């Protein structure tokens, strides 16, 4: 049963008939059962073939298959190793933060406040020297005096040596190349907590897929096809997201976020290191798809909120926009393998509200400047990273692949790409056919 104009067909099971009476023939029952089994088999074959094609063409993010018995056995083995390592390294309380930007500094602050020794890796020697001597990051959050247990270094090997957690706080588009170049230095088996919110644009992947490719040295450069790859223990990945500005974390403002990992105990590992009982609380999740997509796809939607603010519209308009944007975000994430409940939480609605309503958001400020007549080239020329600009195009590609309408995503992408101005985009939205607020499932 093809669902409307959906590019990804779905199969609709018929409602179960009442229990067969004595008059129902055995051949009829066998025929019905054979039909159900055949239909299920065809559905399974279709989805596996479709998913493989989509992944090979880098159209959609990877959707995880349900765990097999072998997978479950591996999980048990992994958690056993994790518990042994945790017990054997009880005296190890070192956390490494890769990246001396605002968010890396704020999470270093959170870990140090809980009694952990933190080593920040940064490339700027003057920045590292200032953190070590005066406990101030001169480039980011310079009003904050950092705990003395935070040190900085420009030597990566020393930064990661003996650490129990690596917080990967690098810009999204630079993260995979950095990991590929330094994979031999990074210790295997250590949990990596990723703070980057975005899609990896060269391959249109979730950042999790791009990171795994980099750590496994997939598509490595300069080695040739016959190069022998050195085996390394995989790094469990966790993903940090939610309504969090770095400047408010270091001010000890009450803050709540979420960290997701495929295996829950790795998320709990991060949760216990960063959470405190006063003002910083992490929840955990296993829905890494929605947590990543929520953090990435809210960026172009925040540009749209800035467009409305820059046009001078009031809270009526902005509240309606954020509400409808949440629906589009939820619909797209579910189509790509995520869970609706996750989008209803901190990494979806929470992060979207933060970026749409606050002038601290780079994406929101970008939208305001676009509405005031500046070109996207001039805005990006200032060196400001605006993930929503490039992500808007990818979001529309995802929507097309899934056969989804997504009028707000398309309107924002049209303005960013210079195909529409604000008035034209708004006119298109209001000229759409009237209908139900919520479509029946």
Residues marked active site are found at: 298
- Whats the size of the chain, residue-wise? 441
SS3 170: coil
Cβ-in-10-Å burial (0-12, 13-18, 19+) of 419 comes to exposed
CA–CA distance, 97 with 105 (Å, rounded to integer): 8
Nearest to 139 by CA among 239, 279, 246: 246
CA–CA distance, 271 with 165 (Å, rounded to integer): 11
Q: In sequence order, which ranges of 275-386 are alpha helices (DSSP H)?
A: 288-310, 315-335, 340-343, 351-357, 362-371, 376-381
Give CA 37 to chain center in angstroms. Answer: 37
User: Can you read off the two tokens belonging to residue 258?
Assistant: 């979420």
Kindly list the strands in the beta sheet with 165-168, ordered across the sheet, starting from the edge strand earlier in the chain: 150-153, 117-121, 94-98, 165-168, 192-194, 237-241, 255-260, 280-285
Nearest to 336 by CA among 290, 296, 396: 290
CA–CA distance, 195 with 241 (Å, rounded to integer): 7
């Amino acid at each position: 049963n093809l669902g409307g104009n959906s590019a990804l067909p779905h199969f609709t099971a018929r409602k179960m008939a009442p229990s067969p009476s004595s008059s129902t023939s055995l051949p009829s029952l066998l025929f019905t059962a054979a039909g159900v089994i055949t239909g299920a088999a065809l559905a399974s074959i279709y989805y596996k073939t479709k998913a493989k094609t989509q992944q090979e063409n880098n159209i959609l993010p990877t959707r995880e298959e349900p765990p097999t018995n072998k997978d479950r056995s591996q999980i048990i083995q992994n958690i056993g190793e994790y518990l042994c390592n945790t017990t054997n390294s009880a005296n190890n309380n070192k956390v490494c933060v890769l990246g001396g930007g605002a968010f890396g500094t704020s999470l270093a602050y959170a870990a140090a406040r809980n009694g952990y020794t933190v080593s920040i890796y940064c490339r700027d020697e003057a920045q590292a020297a200032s953190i070590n001597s005066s406990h101030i990051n001169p480039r980011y959050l310079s009003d904050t005096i950092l705990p003395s247990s935070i040190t900085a270094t420009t030597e990566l090997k020393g930064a990661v040596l003996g650490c129990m957690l690596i917080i990967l706080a690098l810009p999204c588009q630079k993260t995979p190349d950095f990991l590929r170049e330094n994979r031999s230095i990074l210790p295997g088996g250590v949990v990596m907590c990723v703070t980057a919110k975005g899609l990896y644009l060269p391959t249109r992947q979730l950042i999790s897929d791009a990171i795994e490719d980099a750590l496994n040295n997939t598509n490595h450069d300069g080695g040739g096809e016959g190069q022998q790859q050195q085996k390394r223990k995989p790094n469990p990945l966790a993903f940090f997201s939610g309504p969090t500005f770095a400047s408010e974390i270091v001010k000890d403002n009450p803050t709540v976020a979420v960290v997701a990992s495929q295996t829950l105990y790795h998320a709990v590992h991060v949760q216990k290191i960063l959470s405190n009982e006063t003002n910083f609380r992490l929840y955990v999740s296993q829905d890494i798809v929605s947590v990543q997509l929520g953090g990435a796809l809210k960026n172009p939607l925040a540009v749209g909120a800035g467009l409305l603010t820059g046009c001078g519209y009031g809270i009526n308009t902005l509240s309606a926009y954020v509400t409808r944007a949440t629906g589009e975000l939820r619909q797209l994430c579910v189509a790509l393998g995520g869970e609706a409940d996750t989008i209803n939480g901190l990494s979806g609605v929470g992060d979207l509200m933060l970026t749409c309503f606050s002038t601290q958001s780079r994406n929101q400020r970008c939208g305001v400047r676009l509405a005031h007549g500046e070109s996207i080239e001039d805005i990006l020329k200032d060196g400001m990273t605006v993930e929503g600009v490039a992500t808007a195009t990818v979001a529309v590609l995802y929507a097309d692949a899934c056969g989804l309408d997504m009028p707000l995503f398309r309107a924002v992408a049209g303005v960013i790409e210079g195909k529409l101005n604000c008035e034209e985009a708004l006119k298109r939205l209001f000229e759409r056919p009237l209908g139900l607020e919520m479509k029946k499932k």
